Structures are given as structure tokens and as C-alpha cells.
Structure 1
Amino acid sequence: MISRKNFLKFTALGGLLPAKNWSSSLSPSSGGPEPNRPLVISTWNHGIPANEAAWDVLAKEGGALDAVEAGVRIPEADPDVRTVGYGGYPDRDGFVTLDACIMDEREQCGSVAALQHIKHPISVARKVKEESPHVMLVGEGALQFAVEQGFEKEDLLTEASRKDWKAWKEDADYRPEINIENHDTIGMLALDSRGNLSGACTTSGAAWKMHGRVGDSPLIGAGLFVDNEVGAAAATGLGEEVIRTCGSHLVVEQMRRGDHPETACRKAVRRIVEKNESVKDIQVGFIAVDKQGRFGGYSIQKGFSFAVCEAGRNRLVDAPYWD
């Protein structure tokens, strides 16, 4: 449960908009904040190369939707990123199953879950949005749809992940790490030069999960939510906790009430903390951006980082956290 110390600290600070992570300047003509755009923000260290690909789109005045798809495809194809796409850790039965979703400025969205044999689930999710009457396809149906759309089947289990899986089976002890060792997601949010928002989220899920387990990453409102009038948010960490609180939707709704993105993320973290007797072994992190291009992140535990690219400068930020 939330401690009295943290409750008092949160109550005292909750109404303040934090000065850090402010990245907007004053417009000489209006005297008001000038939107900080384009901008891209993504979770974890692998957000740095992902942001570079997204920025290539944004810098040419491309749309936010194209940017986030291009961005997250980078870790999806990187076998050294062991929690996303190709080379991701398998489930406890040895199958690499992928989840992803994408959402644009018109709140049109597509999603796939428990998808096997396709390296870029984010692109399949976009096809679900654009080429099907549905929002979400799963399992064999998602694979069938992907093949029909021209995606090639391939073996996603690399030798390195196979070796780690076999080593894990010796004890078969399911204890998810709480930070980068098993953070299982890249979430990316972009604000383009026209002021439109989009987001993407893609993952191979928690290592050694039960076959068929789906976390928050492909669920609109949990792992990702975009409202083009307000802002966008994405989540990473223990998906079950994000699902229980509809975490990303909660963050966006807090921004709708006027909260700075970091404050909104902190309030979503607080909701999770309040719902658990202890969060010692739980990590969840949120990132958010609003229509003005203000951004922020917040996590339960120390160790969550996010990457931000604005004005061509790409950098990693250590998120503030609950203590």
C-alpha cells in the first residue's frame, strides 16, 4: 500500500507542474508557449537508434504515424534487443510470440497479439488498421492475415535466445526481472510538424511467459493511447499491472485535466502503487507527450530511462521514480 510519507509528498507536489523536461519557448507574437515540434520520445536505451529512424521521417515533414512505425522497426529487427521482435526471448515452451499496436491522430488503431514467425509485428498491426474492419487480430488468425498481406514467415528464435531458454529450463523459475533485463517493450510517441500525434508499441513479451500470455503492449488504452486533442502515452514493464489500471489511457486523461505529462505519469504510477501491498518486485514506467510538445516519464522503481529527440538532438533521460 502507499506509505504515509509518499502520500504526503505526492499531495504536496501534485498540483505543481515540474520545470524539468520543459522544452517549449515563448512565441514573440503571442507571449504564449510555442509548440515544441517535431518531437519523438521512446522507452529504454534502444529508443536512441529507434528515435534516429523516426527523426529521419519527421525532419522531412513526414507524418507521426510513419515516424513511429519506422522507429520501432529498428529494435524489432535487431537480434541483440532480446525483448522485442527478432531474437526476443521465447515463452516457456520455446515459442517467440510477438505483440504490437499502433494508433494515429484520428484514433484509428490496429493491433496483433501472440503473433509468430513475422519479424515486424508493428507493420502487421498497421495493416490491421488500414486493411481490415477490425482493431485486433491474434494467434493463427494474425499470422494468416500477415501472410495474405505479403509478410514472409521466418524463424525468430536466434541461437542466443535458444541457448538462454534451454538454460532457464533447468530450473524453470519464473521470476521476471523488473528493469531493462526483461522490460519487454519499446513504446514510441511522435508529434509531427503539423501538430499530429501517433504512437506505437511492440514487444516479444515477458521472457518465459506461459504460452498464450498477452501483456499490455498490444492493448489500446493499456500499453498505448493517443488523443490528438490532448496528448499520447505509452507504458512499459509488468503488463498485468498496466492492464489493471488502463495505464496509458489514465495518463492521457490526467493530461486532459491539465496535468503536465510527467505529473500525469506520476499519478498513473501512484494508482498502481495504491493497488498493491508491495511494489518491491514490480516495475512499470510511463512516457507521455502533450500537444504543446511537453514530455515526461515516471516509473515505480529506479532504472527506467527514455529517449527524446527534439531539434535533431537525441538523448537518454533517467526517469524520476517513486521511492
Structure 2
Amino acid sequence: MLSTMQDVPLTVTRILQHGMTIHGTSQITTWTGEAEPQRRTFAEVGRRATQLANALRDELGIDGDQRVATLMWNNAEHVEAYFAIPSMGAVLHTLNLRLPAEQLVWIVNHAADRAVIVNGSLLPLLAPLLPHLPTVEHVVVAGPGDRSLLTGTDARVHEYEDLIAGRPTTYDWPELDERSAAAMCYTSGTTGDPKGVVYSHRSIYLHSMQVNMAESMGLTDRDTSLVVVPQFHVNAWGLPHATFMTGINMLMPDRFLQPAPLAEMIERERPSHAAAVPTIWQGLLAEVTANPRDLSSMKQVTIGGAACPPSLME
């Protein structure tokens, strides 16, 4: 006997739609290094993600399960790509900007990425690789950076804001099989060539639910999470998806990962939670020991990637 309950696919699309409607007033704050950070509501991020999906389909010709790579810091545009690409049926491929150039080339070619969305500040990393990336037909640049580095590339170059401007804010999202690919991450090449892991829509949905459980991070729409763990590191431990499921506000550090700006953004933006590897916290501890700041808003810290030293816990 089968149940009579509703049976719907557990997809990234449903997380996007839930976050931009039920939690539409929650915010993503991206640190800019200037007096005022960039602020976007979940509703705005959802609309822009929808516009990005339209642009990827209509302008770049992305269809089916083609791979779209991101070479980006943690910021609102990266979250928009997180939702747009899987929701339209394509596959998000986050590139680890810490890897050696030869490993990045191998990974992009192995995944057969058709397009790369890149932050302008990372063009010095991407531009020398492009002659060795025959599958990459499009480069989409977001944020400030030296575009002249892309002169002579065979790939078509697009400006992120120009690309999505005027695009429809609705999309006929496909009904995807929840077991289909949503995102890809690759290991480093410490034991031979890097290995790829393909996340399903279902796995991301279920993982988002687990992240939000009280036994895990247990955050709510009254919390703000400082997401330092990179979005290319196992999907930032699921936080971009989990936040849209529960309405948790996100504070994104972009390229400002040094101890001093992290201390400043905690003092100014008052997050209640943060997630990062131990080396980040060791640097922050040294910074605030030398230059005390008000970090009293912080109630919980999630540490992963390596064991946290007991001395750091204390």
C-alpha cells in the first residue's frame, strides 16, 4: 500500500521559492570594505536569481544539465547563482580558488564547464587559464576588476549586471527529478587527479533541514550568520540553502577574510552565529587580543574542516 500524502520533488527550486516569499524580508549583507555594505533582501535575491536563469538560458544558451562554474567569493551574487543554476536544471560547479592553476584547468575541463561566473577581483586568476579551457564559451564578470585581462580570449565576456538587467522576474521552472544533479565540488589533487562529487537536489534539501535542526546549528530568522566558510567548500556547509529555508540573515565577507575586517564586521553588523575553519578563528582571536572589539553578539560558532584546538575553544 502507498500513502495518500502529497509527493513532490525535494528540489533547490522549492527552497528558492520558499525563501523569497515566506522569508522575503530576510537579508544578505555583503561586506564591501566601504562605509556601507551591500544589502539585499531574500525577495530581491530571488528575483535576481530568476533574472540570471533567464539570461543563462536566453543569452548563453544554457539548457539541460550543462555545467556553469563559479569562481567567486562569498557574496549575494554567488547566492543568486547558487539558486538560479540548479533551479533551471543546469549544474552549479563551484571552483576552489585556492587550488593550483593546473588543478583548476583539469577540473574545469573534466566537468566540461560551458560558462564561468567570476568576481572581477579574481580575473588575474582566471584569465591565464582561459586558453586551456576549450569548453568555456562564456565568462560573466561580477563586481570591480580589470577587464582588460580578458582581452583576446575566445570566450564571450558578459557583465553580470548588464546580463540580468531587464530580464523577466518569472521563470517556468522545470519539474526536476529530485535525484538529478544540482551541484558539483571537486577535491584537491593530493592523491592523483581531483575527484568530483555531484550533489542531488534531494541531498541538498535534506541537508538544509538537518542544518536547521536544534541538534545542529538550530538558527532562526532572528539570527544573522557570518558565512566565512567559502561557498566553494562543500557548499559553505549548506548555509546558503539552509538560510533560505528558515529565513536566517546572512553576512557575507566577500574577499575581506583578514582578521581586522572580520572583527569590524562582527562589531558593526552584530551576527549571532559564524562558520569558519580553525585558522580563521585563531587569526581573529589574535586580532581582538591585540585590538579589543565588541564581539558580544556572537552566541554560537561552527568550526569545521579541521579539529578545533582546545585552547581555541577556551
Give TM-score scaled by structure 2 length.
Answer: 0.29
Structure with a larger share of its residues in helix:
2
Question: Relative contact order: is structure 1 or structure 2 higher (C-alpha 8 Å, sep ≥ 6)?
Answer: 1
